[in-house]
Amino acid sequence: GAVVSQHPSRVICKSGTSVKIECRSLDFQATTMFWYRQFPKQSLMLMATSNEGSKATYEQGVEKDKFLINHASLTLSTLTVTSAHPEDSSFYICSASPASLGEDTQYFGPGTRLTVL
Amino acid sequence: DAKTTQPNSMESNEEEPVHLPCNHSTISGTDYIHWYRQLPSQGPEYVIHGLTSNVNNRMASLAIAEDRKSSTLILHRATLRDAAVYYCILRDVWANNLFFGTGTRLTVIP
């Protein structure tokens, strides 16, 4: 089956610093990748949709200047949390859809747990 | 996006079948019914999806009501590894994003 990886799996940073999270599709090309955030005991919340070679589409209420998304290749998307604060502490999960037409499935990464001190 | 309603939690005994219900009374003709599950501290995992006909795969079966206003995910023999939150999601055929609801937390009792 298709595999999506994320790096790092865990990160702890000081308030005010920036953190970059990588999402890679290991065995398929993904024209579209998605970023989600999940707070404890809550469901996943879609943050943005990332299309290779174009600007990401952010969901309402998500600050695009704070959560920078780059999808530079068909196998890599990055999420940078800029000037992180304790309220940004969360579980960040990416997913990817294969480029093939008619593919309905999203494949999810294992998640990155961010703790901002 | 059309919404889904699922029970917050369910329990099942190990090795018994589990029927996880989902109501989606406002489903549109172009909405697919997707099921994903999330094990603790992991990303979600695709389970199954369908449009109108019942579907079977190695993980589960999906039974879709004739009027498509409800569906049921069937795990034929629950194992401890099936303990997870199960999400029923509607996705338009022309869209590629998923919006997760609260899901059903399945507990499997040994």
For chain A, the farthest-separated pair of C-alpha atoms sits apart, in whole angstroms, at: 43
pLDDT by residue (tens digit) across A53-104? 888 999 999 999 999 999 888 899 999 999 999 999 999 999 998 865 455 7
Q: What's the confidence (pLDDT) of residue B97? A: 82
Give dist(CA B44, CA B110) in Å, integer: 24
Q: What is each CA distance from B100 to A68, A110, B4, B41, B91, in whole angstroms?
A: 22, 17, 9, 16, 10
Q: What's the confidence (pLDDT) of residue A45? A: 95
**Interchain pair B97, A93: CB under 8 A:** no
Phi then psi dihedrals of residue A93, to 5 deg:
-125, 135
Nearest by CB: A46 against B42, B99, B102: B99
Q: What is each CA distance from A54 to A69, B36, B97, in whole angstroms?
A: 10, 28, 17
pLDDT > 60? residue B93: yes
CA distance A109 to chain B (A): 6
**Interchain pair A43, B103: CB under 8 A:** yes
**DSSP 8-state secondary structure symbol assigned to residue A41:** T
Tokens of B17: 């079948």
Residue contacts between A and B (CB atoms, under 8 Å): 51
pLDDT > 60? residue B19: yes
